[in-house]
């Protein structure tokens, strides 16, 4: 059962090191959380009370709440230079959590935050794609909701194959943030809006042709590691050094198509499946996850099943959801969709 979640919306530190955290809640679920625990590397404490701010101008949440140490049963110390924040929401005997690391804390991708800046979670529509991430925010908006101002940047460069020639077409997803797709221009260049955060990778998959003649190639590349600052332009080429795998256009894992309709949706959504060359012995799983990675629903469709209608439980909040399809233990399709 999916349960209400108090999400981390924004974290801000004052010049004296004291912290303020903005929690985000979805409509109809703000008052259904029994309690919330706040945790950092120094310890944890139950939040004694919080005041809901309806709307708040947020593009991601319907209610907000501003939390400081005054709201806790016992004080919690958070190191602005290297730490993590985790919220644990309790409801009906179950718990759900939200988590972000920052500074030089292990696993952090938010290590270029400067004094006066905050850490924000944003989700926004880019063309037909919904993008979401924690990022560095140089324009804190504690208590009035997050927008995209002062949180986004641009990344540009050229992408080269192992022979030193530019790729002239296709697109790739910017690792490690699946969902930021970058188009390759005929001259090998690319330019894309990205979140202000760290990016590090040494492999990349380039999609050369779309379905039904889908093909892609995965390359080893010279190590890429940069943290892009808000409202800036980062220029760095991507240089492939060797081909790892070339997915033939007739490979089973490239032949499965999932169409989501309507997207966004409100109360019911339909997934249309197109499994090419189906075999009755195929073992297929189709799983839906929340933004926090919690499994919300899993089915086992047959190889010949062409659709599945899903009416979410009332406790599943609005926001970005993810679907994941596997065939015979191998991932064949992933994607995002939005519940309003």
Distances (CA, A) of 52 to 20, 38, 174, 296: 15, 17, 36, 26
| Calpha distance 261→268 (Å, rounded) | 9
Handedness of CA 193, 199, 202, 205 (dihedral sign): negative
String of DSSP letters for 167-197 = P-S-EEE-TTSTT-EEEPPTTSEEEEEEESS
Low-confidence residues in the chain, pLDDT < 50: 1-2, 58, 248-255
Same domain, 19 and 103: yes
Query: Looking at 181, 216, 247, which one is the last position of a domain?
Result: 247
What six digits make up the tokens of 62? 């319907």
Burial of 281 (0-12, 13-18, 19+ CB in 10 A): exposed
What six digits make up the tokens of 294? 């919690």
Query: Looking at 247, 271, 306, which one is the last position of a domain?
Result: 247
Please report the pLDDT score of residue 92 as a whole number.
72
Number of domains composing the chain: 3
CATH number for 97: 2.60.40
How do 233-235 and 152-160 pair as beta strands?
parallel
Same domain, 237 and 265: no
Distances (CA, A) of 157 to 105, 187, 238, 243: 29, 11, 7, 20
Please report the pLDDT score of residue 31 as a whole number.
66
Same domain, 177 and 119: no
Same domain, 109 and 34: yes
Same domain, 14 and 124: yes
Please report the pLDDT score of residue 23 as a whole number.
92
Same domain, 222 and 126: no
Range of the domain at 285: 256-339
Same domain, 43 and 102: yes
Please report the pLDDT score of residue 48 as a whole number.
95
Same domain, 21 and 126: yes
- Phi, psi of 270, rounded to the nearest 5 degrees: -120, 135
Number of neighbouring beta carbons within 10 Å of residue 110: 24
CATH number for 196: 2.60.40.1120
Query: Looking at 137, 170, 205, which one is the last position of a domain?
Result: 137
Examine residue 59 and state whether it is found in any structural domain, yes or no: yes
Same domain, 285 and 335: yes
Model confidence pLDDT, tens digit, residues 51-62: 988 765 545 677
| 8-35 core/surface letters (b: 16 or more CB in 10 A; e: else) | bbbbbbeeeeebbbbbbbbeebbeebee
Of residues 294, 332, 302, the one with CA closest to residue 89: 294
Give the predicted TM-score (pTM) of the model. Answer: 0.72
Examine residue 142 and state whether it is found in any structural domain, yes or no: no
Model confidence pLDDT, tens digit, residues 120-143: 988 777 765 667 889 999 999 998
Number of neighbouring beta carbons within 10 Å of residue 156: 14
DSSP conformational letter for 155:
E
| Calpha distance 10→64 (Å, rounded) | 10
Same domain, 164 and 263: no
Same domain, 293 and 211: no
């Amino acid at each position: 059962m999916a349960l209400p979640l108090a999400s981390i919306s924004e974290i801000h530190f004052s010049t004296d090191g004291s912290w303020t955290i903005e929690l985000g809640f979805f409509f109809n679920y703000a008052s259904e959380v029994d309690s919330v625990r706040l945790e950092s590397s120094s310890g944890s404490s139950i939040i004694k009370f919080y005041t809901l701010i309806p709307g708040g101008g947020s593009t991601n949440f319907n209610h907000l709440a501003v939390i400081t140490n005054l709201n806790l049963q016992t004080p919690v110390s958070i190191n602005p230079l290297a730490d993590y924040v985790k919220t644990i929401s309790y409801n009906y005997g179950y718990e759900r959590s939200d988590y972000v690391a920052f500074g030089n804390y292990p696993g952090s991708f938010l290590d270029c935050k400067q004094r006066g800046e905050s850490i924000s979670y944003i989700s926004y529509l880019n063309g037909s794609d919904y993008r979401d991430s924690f990022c560095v925010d140089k324009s804190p908006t504690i208590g009035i909701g997050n927008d995209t101002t002062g949180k986004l940047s641009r990344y540009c460069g050229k992408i080269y194959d192992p022979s030193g020639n530019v790729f002239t077409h296709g697109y790739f997803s910017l690792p490690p943030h699946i969902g930021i797709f970058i188009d390759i221009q005929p001259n090998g260049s690319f330019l894309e809006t990205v979140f202000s955060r760290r990016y590090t990778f040494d492999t990349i998959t380039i999609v050369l042709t779309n379905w039904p003649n889908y093909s892609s190639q995965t390359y080893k590349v010279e190590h890429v590691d940069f943290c892009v600052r808000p409202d800036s332009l980062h220029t760095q080429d991507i240089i492939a050094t060797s081909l790892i795998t070339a997915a033939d256009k007739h490979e089973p894992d490239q032949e499965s198509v999932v169409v989501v309709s309507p997207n966004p949706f409100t109360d019911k959504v339909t997934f249309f499946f197109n499994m090419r060359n189906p075999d009755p012995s195929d073992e297929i799983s189709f799983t839906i996850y929340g933004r926090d990675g919690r499994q919300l629903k899993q089915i086992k469709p047959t190889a010949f099943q062409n659709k599945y209608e899903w009416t979410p439980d009332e406790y599943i909040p609005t926001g970005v959801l993810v679907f994941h399809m596997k065939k015979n233990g191998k991932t064949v399709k992933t994607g995002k969709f939005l519940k309003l």
